[in-house]
Amino acid sequence: MLAKTQLHDAVRHAPARDLTVTEIRTTIVDVPTVRKHKLSQTSVTAQSYVIVQLRLANGVEGIGEAATLGGPRWSEESVEGIKATIDTYLAPAMTGQPADRFVTAGERLDAAAKRNNAAKAALETALFDAVGKSLDLPVAALLGGAVRTSFPVLWTLASGDPDQEIAEAEAKLAARLHRTFKIKIGAQSPEADLARLARLAKALTERATLIVDANQAWDETTARRCLPCLADLGIALVEQPLPAWNVAGMGRLRARDRVPPLLADECVFTSHDMLAVAEAAAADAVSLKLVKHGGLVGLRKVAAVAEAAGIGLYGGCLLESSVGAAAHLHAFAGLRDLAWGCEHFGPQILTGDLVTEPLAFHDFAVHLPEGPGLGVTLDPDKLRHYARS
């Protein structure tokens, strides 16, 4: 039997078990980036997030994050809409509810609002973080346990200036931060993009792996013409060359000769989307993102369908801060195979982060933060500094 003082200490240090959600707050923040990040449909010089702070009856606070790119251009959600949806519909649906019933929470959120996947992902992340902190467990443990704690991580080259991009890539290689680079294409003509890629491939040959992301910029005719050129340049992976609706076209492209492996992104939000892509044989890999899949539970569902179909897993991002990136890493940590690594370099492209200790990047990998919950702590001073008026 425990001595009286030992019993007292055990009770005092035991986690409080009332996991009822009592309060949910949201804040829009805008964090400048170190350089312009240019996609086919938009470009950003500051990254915007909605930060969710969720408090339990035991006093523990969980945090979550929703990211967008340049407003409702990558998907239909904007930070303004995300905040309004959480404040008006999702927070009332979860206030007074148990935080640790994650599947039930997802059902409540789906009943409160259709789609709005980024908003739901941010709130669900805060639930997992709060429960993990309450039970002194990392989020990865709540999802079944980690099989990896470090992840090969790429860097995106997206200024459109090949001289600048070569210098940027050289600096990342020298610092042993990144040796896989994703080049954003589609904002210029295909001919200009191919010339730019040829320069990058020549400069980085045998020292780096290159993939490209068209962000839906090409039609099928353009893709048929350009994909063999990308194969000749040694491009390892091509992300979403066609519009999201044209899954059949992705399948036709993939069936042709001299086509690099294809990565599905904007065409896969739900597990049903993933099934349709698998049935069309439209992709070799899928990009997993919390903002697409509605949270950690949804991400794992999409990953399970992809695994069953023999489709590779790739950890996608929307330039998340260390809050959102940590949530992704916890979701990725339990996947049996993450053959294509991840792109959670977001904290490095920001002029400042939102946490007390940003994620660790070294030896060409990003590392899972240690500690309960997400393993990162929101910095209240930085939150106030970057908060939108």
Residue 99 · residue 127 · CB < 8 Å: yes
pLDDT in tens, 301-350: 999 999 999 999 999 999 999 999 999 999 999 999 999 999 999 999 99
Residue 43, pLDDT above cutoff 70 = no
Same domain, 46 and 114: yes
CA distances from 343 to 89, 149, 199, 211 (A): 32, 15, 22, 11
**In terms of domains, do 123 and 43 share one?**
yes
**Based on the domain organization, do 103 and 39 belong to the same domain?**
yes
Question: Considering 38, 184, 289, 292, which one is annotated as catalytic?
Answer: 184
Which of 84, 113, 136 is where one domain is finished?
A: 136
Exactly one of 168, 266, 320, 343 is catalytic; name it: 343
Question: Of the candidates 240, 213, 227, which has an alpha carbon nearest to the alpha carbon of residue 154?
Answer: 213
pLDDT at 242 over 50: yes
The whole-number pLDDT of residue 42 equals 62
For residue 65, the model assigns a pLDDT of 98
Distance CA 141, CA 121 (A): 18
In 14-156, which residue ranges form alpha helices assigned H by DSSP? Answer: 79-85, 91-94, 102-112, 117-135, 139-142
Please confirm, yes or no, whether 4 is among the known catalytic residues.
no
Active site residue 343: yes
Whether pLDDT at 17 is above 90: no
| pLDDT reported for residue 3 | 43
Tens of pLDDT along 70-86? 788 888 999 999 999 99
Residue 8 pLDDT level (bands cut at 50, 70, 90): very low
Element at 36 (helix H, strand E): strand 21-38
Do 111 and 148 lie in one domain? The reply is no
Q: Where are the alpha helices (DSSP H) in 155-257?
A: 162-174, 190-204, 220-232, 247-254
Q: How many domains are there within the chain? A: 2
| Residues 159 and 284 both lie in one domain | yes
State residue 1's pLDDT score.
Answer: 36
- 161-197 pLDDT per residue, tens: 999 999 999 999 999 999 999 999 998 999 999 999 9
For residue 76, give the amino acid letter: E
**Which residue range forms the structural domain that includes residue 25?**
11-136
Pick the last residue of a domain from 108, 136, 164.
136
- Are residues 16 and 32 both part of a single domain? yes
Which two tokens mark 353? 């982060």
Q: Could you tell me if residue 389 is inside a domain?
A: no
In a domain, 123, yes or no: yes
> pTM for the whole thing?
0.92
Q: How much is the pLDDT for 16?
A: 58
